[in-house]
């Protein structure tokens, strides 16, 4: 038996649709499968290039992971859905990334051609936007807080209220973060109540290097509760010459314009209250790429900037470009920010607007179904068998990512049902469809909340539904 030339084998492989894995991978899989064939060539009954051979090539390719990070349509109604990548970027951000992919002006001074500061533009933009003296950006807010505690209090003590020792996600737990930063935690107060005096007593310890305030983000304490105003705590810290660091989490900039996050502390308020270092996320309410932003008084931000950890936690050029572009949109003011930053637009959509969108979407589906039914006239019941029912329903959306955790965003969407499919099955088919659609299940129905579906994604959502 003669082994056909590789080109012929590649062609045959492509004809069997194996080229979706890429030609290189197909080449390697064929090579590997040929080893077995070659070993038998000298024997009386050599193996052939047969169906079994191609099955082996296929199974070698099938273990390669398919592209996992890919486009999805978020129809869950949770605007900042961490598992779906949090904030969808504004166009300005991804255009900036395209520009920065090749060689980019990053850490070089155009005037002198000498090495410059890579974070200088973002720092200036952050200062301009928030009124802070200086700013800094690192990989994410978790990194920002780790850096702040480590640079300010490594080998010393940090005071924090027992009511703010939060866990965020699976493994980000405040006491462990402080420990990892190399600082010792002094807890004050109780779960529900902490007094200014508790902090005053703790600050008598000369080993204290910082006081930490952490936004509770993903839960609320109700009932017999109390804590000092941030401004009073900041004043007390100033008396003792110890910085107050506030981890805000969501990073609300245009708070007044956004009733749904009215109870979230804004970056500006935290600075005005006298916090010397404030940290927040880039991909929560700021609506940009993943990043951890730090603003505050110049000497402390500078101390953070010079810390070795900053080098370990820094952003790459594409994220810096996306962040810079997002901050520039914010700088145009609240109107521009709400018009151009998808997360902000989604947060501000009213139920009325969403109801109108849901109704016209339902009409389109209905029209398509009628067209199908008349096509299938020769096959009675053909259209009914694949009947997709869609009903306009009222929904309650969420901000997500630990911002205003108990606030409902009154919205609208579609409840869909597919004849012969359970809600779980239908939701699964949507997740696995060509354009992945993530929905919510409620009362045994699949709910598509249109708040989090961008208008330009509606035609793709429509196609995904029709493909069912
Ligand atoms: C979300 C959040 C974090 C973590 O921020 P990432 O950007 O996800 O790293 C830290 N602290 C608070 C209070 C948060 O809300």
Query: CB neighbours (10 Å) of residue 259?
Result: 11
- pLDDT at position 382: 46
- Please write the tens of the pLDDT for every residue from 82-135: 999 999 999 999 999 999 999 999 999 989 999 988 888 999 999 999 999 999
Whole-number Å distance between alpha carbons of 246 and 217: 12
In this structure, are residues 415 and 391 in contact, taking their beta carbons and an 8 Å threshold? Answer: yes
The residue whose CA is least distant from atom 6 of ligand 1 is 141
Region 208-230 average pLDDT: 92
Question: Using 50, 70 and 90 to split pLDDT, how confident is the model at 385?
Answer: low
Nearest to 283 by CA among 249, 316, 255, 309: 249
Mean pLDDT lowest among 17-21, 24-28, 37-41, 223-227: 17-21
Give Cα 168 distance to the centre of its chain: 14
β-pair partners for 418:
388
User: What SS3 class is residue 110?
Assistant: coil
> What was the pLDDT predicted at 221?
87
**Which of 158, 346, 335 has its CA nearest to residue 257?**
335
| Ligand 1 atom at shortest distance from the alpha carbon of 281 | 7
CA neighbor of 279 nearest in space, from 381, 151, 445:
151
Q: Ligand 1: residues whose CB is within 6 Å? A: 140-142, 145, 168, 214-215, 217, 247, 249, 281, 292, 401-402
H-helix or E-strand spanning residue 279? strand 277-281
Query: Taking the domains of the chain in order of start, what are their residue ranges?
Result: 6-62, 72-82+348-466, 91-340
What does the pLDDT average to over 318-333?
97
- Residue 383: band (very low, low, confident or very high) from pLDDT cuts 50, 70, 90: very low
DSSP state of 398: B
Cα–chain center distance at 351? 24
* pTM as predicted: 0.87
Pairing label, strands 167-168, 409-418: unpaired
Q: Using alpha carbons, select from 166, 289, 172, 280 the residue that is nearest to residue 220.
A: 166
Which CATH fold would you assign to the domain 72-82+348-466?
3.90.1150
Domain spanning 91-340: CATH 3.40.640.10: yes
Enumerate the β-bridge partners of residue 244: 211
Q: What is the pLDDT of residues 33-55, one digit of tens each?
A: 999 888 888 888 888 889 999 99
Quick one: average pLDDT of 431-446? 92
Average pLDDT, the chain: 92
Q: Check pLDDT > 70 for residue 306.
A: yes
Ligand 1 pocket test, candidate residues 84, 173, 249, 399, most atoms within 8 A of CB = 249
pLDDT class for 379, splitting at 50, 70, 90?
very low
**Residue 377 pLDDT > 60, yes or no?**
no
pLDDT value of residue 401: 85
* Cβ count within 10 A of residue 109: 12
The span from the CA of 103 to the CA of 316, in Å, is: 12
Pocket test for ligand 1, best of 139, 140, 141 (most atoms within 8 A of CB): 141
Instruction: Give start and end residues of each alpha helix (H) in 190-288.
Output: 196-202, 230-239, 267-272
- Most confident stretch, 64-68, 378-382, 463-467: 463-467
């Amino acid at each position: 038996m003669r082994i056909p030339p590789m080109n012929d084998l590649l062609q045959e492989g492509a004809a069997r649709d194996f080229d979706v894995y890429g030609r290189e991978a197909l080449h390697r899989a064929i090579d590997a499968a040929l080893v077995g064939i070659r070993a038998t060539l000298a024997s009386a009954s050599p193996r052939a290039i047969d169906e079994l051979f191609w099955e082996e090539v296929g199974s070698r390719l099938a273990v390669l992971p398919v592209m996992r990070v890919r486009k999805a349509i978020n129809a869950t109604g949770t605007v900042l859905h961490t598992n779906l990548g949090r904030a969808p970027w504004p166009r300005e951000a991804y255009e900036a990334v395209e520009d920065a992919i090749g060689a980019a002006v990053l850490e070089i001074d155009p005037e002198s051609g000498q090495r410059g500061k890579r974070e200088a533009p973002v720092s200036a933009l952050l200062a301009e936007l928030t009124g802070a003296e200086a700013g800094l950006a690192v990989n994410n807010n978790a990194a920002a807080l780790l850096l702040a505690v480590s640079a300010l209090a490594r080998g010393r003590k940090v005071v924090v209220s027992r009511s703010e020792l939060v866990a965020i996600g699976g493994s980000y737990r405040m006491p462990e973060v402080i420990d990892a930063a190399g600082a010792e935690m002094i807890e004050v107060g109780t779960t529900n109540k902490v007094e200014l005096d508790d902090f005053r007593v703790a600050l008598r310890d000369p080993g204290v290097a910082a006081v930490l305030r952490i936004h509770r983000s993903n839960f609320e304490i109700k009932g017999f509760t109390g804590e000092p105003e941030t401004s009073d705590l900041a004043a007390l810290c100033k008396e003792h010459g110890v910085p107050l660091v506030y981890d805000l989490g969501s990073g609300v900039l245009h708070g007044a314009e956004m009733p749904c996050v009215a109870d979230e502390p804004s970056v500006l308020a935290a600075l005005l209250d006298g916090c010397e270092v404030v940290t927040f996320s880039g991909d929560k309410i700021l609506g940009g790429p993943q990043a951890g932003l730090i603003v505050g008084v110049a000497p402390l931000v500078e101390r953070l900037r010079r810390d070795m950890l900053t080098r370990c936690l820094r952003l790459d050029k594409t994220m810096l470009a996306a962040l810079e572009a997002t901050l520039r949109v914010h700088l145009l003011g609240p109107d521009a920010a709400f018009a151009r930053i998808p997360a902000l637009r989604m947060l501000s959509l009213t139920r009325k607007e969403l109801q109108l969108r849901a109704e016209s979407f339902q009409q389109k589906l209905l029209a398509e179904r009628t067209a199908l039914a008349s096509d299938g006239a020769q096959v009675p019941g053909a259209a009914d068998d694949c009947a997709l029912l869609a009903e306009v329903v009222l929904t309650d959306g969420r901000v997500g990512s630990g911002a205003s955790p108990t606030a409902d965003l009154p919205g609208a969407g579609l409840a869909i049902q597919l004849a012969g499919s359970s809600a779980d099955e239908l939701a699964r088919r949507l997740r696995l469809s060509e354009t992945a659609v993530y929905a919510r299940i409620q009362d045994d129905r699949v709910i598509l909340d249109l708040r989090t579906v961008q208008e330009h994604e509606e035609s793709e959502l429509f196609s995904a539904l029709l493909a069912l």
